[in-house]
């Protein structure tokens, strides 16, 4: 297969972890006879510095014409304590999601047997956890009207959802649930919000089209609690943009190593793959960041193109590196810590 | 001291746990020579059944004229899967908060040495945790304009904050921080929401009035993560209504027993005290619910009226009951479980 992949390394540790994923993908392509065509493009603070824009038109052109996007991370501390900065890296992220129509963010959370004791949660609470949060990514309060009134003394944001937006996301949720344990949980705040009531009503109406899927409805506050109490109770969850932002980050704690959690964001046509850790500026340039989340994101990419064996091969070498202790300092636990680039080289060589 | 206390038992286990708190308060009043005048009033599903309204005017009259309100819980499963029900118990809660002007919800989270192993989190992560979330309770998306458009196919909710609302809440936060470790964390989503940018700007402007308080600003998604990773990193946190709803519930998991966590909600004049657990309908009427959260809420009540010794006495007997195993089944751990009423009797007798 020939795949054109846009390569958006972004900020902080982004470039370093992306480099390792590219090595691993190239090794897989060689082994399985695929042709990967990497197309680097600017994004984030790096793009602001170069062209004054966090998601430049040229980058969008490249992404829109690619088969998939591999994304590192964006964000830079110099923007963090200046919420009123006119141009911010995050705007690039939001613009990219919207312009590429990436309406569904897929965030699996699972445990690695060898890392289970790294979790802040007790082993018996998390063993067997394998859940997936499907976060709506191009609607809700992220993209509603917002502004100021009364000479700047009143601020407002609007949380809006249309039935069609909810159906589109929920359909993906039902479909994914059908490939897993056939349980779907709709997470909302329908006891307060009208938009949540529309979510609940829309999902309820879709239940008849998926008679095998068992659907439950829970309030976001209760889920924030239960998710760390009994994470293995959950399977597929669907939720609005803001709730998903909070819950996916909360869920990332379960596995014990955020440095390993991959994600994908999908649209009608576009597909983007990224590690869930951020740009982690403190570690940037030091060759110490864990590249596995990005490597596992690349596995999701292969899988989405039906290249299951290729995805399996990536996961196999990742597990092997964990078992043999070829890991970065976050996982080294006193033993020898390998550099980001060393882990990447080792993985590529093992394929 | 003479105190008129409105008694809103509410639904589910509300009446049972409230009864025990009353016993304990009466014992304290007797010992310290106070005069407590209890004024029962209807609320929640119980009020809907009786008068068709979850927060009737007569109840409001009683609350407004009382020195404090002791509240049980509201909510009934018969309303849960019918988000479009015209009258819902939760509306009573929201109406009460608004009409009494209870703008600040105070939610301490701490650990009990004897219960620390009940937490889903590992002991070394939670030891020493003693944090307090101050949730804005009468503004934000809970009380903004909401509705439908396009023949019901679009739903919207408005998240609004004024500078004055934020100042009022933040002032309480700074004041509480001054009585504790002088650290305050403002939790928002200022990288996306205009209302969060107003929060951040407002709190930043107040920093100069409290030069001793060290203020930090964190995004809600990062906090949802760090709160279960390193809860003891936090001290006082201030946040908007919706974020507070989610984070306070998440934080309640830390202690290992939600049945013990108290709360207060305060306004310019009104003060309300309630356990954070809900109405827990499955346990209603069985005399098995843990009354300690309500009893500890009553301790907060005494404390807020300057009756520190009285509050201490309540906490002393609560700790004694835990140490001696005079506990309900949620804490019994295979040993003898006492009834709700037995625990209440034991506490009152120990005072
Ligand atoms: C950076 C920020 C705008 C973004 C979001 O809130 O969506 C991030 O938290 C994420 O989850 O990808
Ligand atoms: C019942 C519900 C409306 C309420 C809220 O969201 O405020 C509850 O979750 C709470 O936190 O007291």
Do β-strands B183-188 and B236-239 pair in parallel, antiparallel, or remain unpaired?
Answer: parallel
Average model confidence (pLDDT) across chain B:
95
Reported pTM:
0.96
**Is A82 marked as a binding-site residue?**
no
Chain B residues lying within 8 Å of A162, measured CB to CB: 150, 153-154
Tell me how close the Cα of B88 comes to any Cα of chain A, in angstroms. 8
Name which of B230, B246, B253 is nearest A220 (Cβ-Cβ): B246
Chain A residues lying within 8 Å of B150, measured CB to CB: 162
Q: Which ligand is nearest to the CA of A188?
A: 2
* Cβ-defined contact of A159 to B148 (cutoff 8 Å): no
**pLDDT for residue B87:** 84
Protein residue with least CA distance to atom 4, ligand 1: A90
Average model confidence (pLDDT) across chain A:
95
Residue A42 to residue A54: CA distance in whole angstroms: 8
A158-185 confidence digits (pLDDT tens): 999 999 999 999 999 999 999 999 999 9
Q: Mutation test of the interface with chain B: which of A123, A223, A224, choosing the one with the most B Cβ atoms within 10 A?
A: A224
**pLDDT for residue B210:** 98
* Cβ-defined contact of B160 to A155 (cutoff 8 Å): yes
**pLDDT for residue B86:** 77
CA B74 / ligand 2 centre spacing (Å): 10
B102-122 confidence digits (pLDDT tens): 999 999 999 988 888 899 999
A303-340 confidence digits (pLDDT tens): 999 999 999 999 999 999 999 999 999 999 889 999 99
Average pLDDT value for residue range B284-307 = 97
Burial of A22 (0-12, 13-18, 19+ CB in 10 A): buried
A29-39 confidence digits (pLDDT tens): 999 999 999 99
Provide the pLDDT confidence category of residue B81 given band limits of 50, 70 and 90: low
Active site residues of A: 142, 189, 221, 245, 249
Average pLDDT value for residue range B140-169 = 98
Q: Are B196 and B190 in contact (CB under 8 A)?
A: yes
Length of chain A: 351
Chain region(s) in chain A for CATH 3.40.718.10: 1-100+270-351, 111-256
Architecture of domain A1-100+270-351: 3-Layer(aba) Sandwich (3.40)
A77-105 confidence digits (pLDDT tens): 887 666 567 788 888 999 999 999 999 99
In this prediction, what percent of chain A has a pLDDT beyond 70? 98
Q: Can you read off the two tokens belonging to residue A307? A: 């290249």
Domain A111-256 has CATH 3.40.718.10: yes
**Is A80 marked as a binding-site residue?**
no
Q: Phi and psi dihedrals of B105, rounded to 5?
A: -100, 120
* Cβ-defined contact of B122 to A121 (cutoff 8 Å): yes
Judged against a pLDDT cut of 80, whether residue B79 lies above it is answered with: no
**pLDDT for residue A229:** 95
* Cβ-defined contact of B142 to A191 (cutoff 8 Å): no
Q: What is the secondary structure of B68-132 as a DSSP string?
A: EEEEEE---GGGTT-TT-SS-HHHHHHHHHHHTT--EEEEEEE--GGGGGGSSB-HHHHTT-EEE
Of ligand 1's atoms, which has the minimum distance to the CA of residue A244?
11
Of ligand 1's atoms, which has the minimum distance to the CA of residue A245?
11
């Amino acid at each position: 297969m020939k795949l054109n992949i846009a390569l958006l390394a972004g900020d902080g540790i982004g470039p370093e972890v992306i480099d390792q994923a590219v090595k691993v993908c190239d090794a897989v392509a060689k082994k399985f006879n695929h042709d990967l065509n990497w197309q680097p493009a600017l994004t984030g603070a790096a793009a602001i510095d170069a062209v004054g824009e966090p998601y430049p038109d040229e980058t969008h052109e490249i992404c829109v014409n690619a088969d998939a996007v591999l994304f590192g991370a964006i964000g830079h501390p110099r923007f963090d304590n200046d919420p009123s900065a006119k141009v911010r890296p995050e705007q690039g992220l939001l613009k990219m999601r919207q312009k590429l129509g990436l309406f569904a963010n897929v965030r699996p959370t699972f445990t690695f047997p060898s890392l289970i004791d790294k979790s802040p949660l007790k082993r018996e609470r998390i063993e067997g956890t394998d859940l997936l949060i499907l976060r709506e990514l191009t609607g809700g309060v992220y993209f509603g009207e917002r502004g100021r009134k009364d000479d700047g003394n009143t601020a407002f944001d609007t949380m809006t959802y249309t039935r069609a937006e909810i159906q589109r996301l929920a359909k993906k949720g039902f479909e994914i649930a059908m490939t897993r344990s056939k349980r779907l949980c709709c997470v909302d705040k329908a006891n307060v919000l009208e938009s949540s009531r529309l979510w609940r009503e829309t999902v309820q109406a879709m239940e008849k089209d998926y008679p095998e899927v068992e659907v439950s409805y829970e309030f976001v506050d209760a889920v924030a609690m239960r998710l760390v109490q009994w994470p293995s109770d959950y399977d597929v969850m669907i939720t609005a943009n803001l709730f998903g932002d909070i819950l996916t980050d909360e869920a990332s704690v379960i596995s014990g190593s955020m440095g390993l959690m991959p994600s994908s964001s999908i649209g009608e046509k576009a597909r983007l793959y990224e590690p869930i850790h951020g740009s982690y500026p403190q570690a940037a340039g030091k060759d110490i960041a864990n590249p596995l989340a990005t490597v596992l994101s690349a596995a999701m990419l292969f899988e989405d193109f039906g290249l299951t064996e290729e995805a399996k091969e990536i996961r196999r070498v990742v597990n092997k590196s964990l078992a043999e202790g070829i890991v970065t300092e976050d996982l080294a636990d006193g033993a020898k810590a390998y550099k980001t680039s060393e882990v990447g080289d080792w993985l590529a060589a093992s394929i």
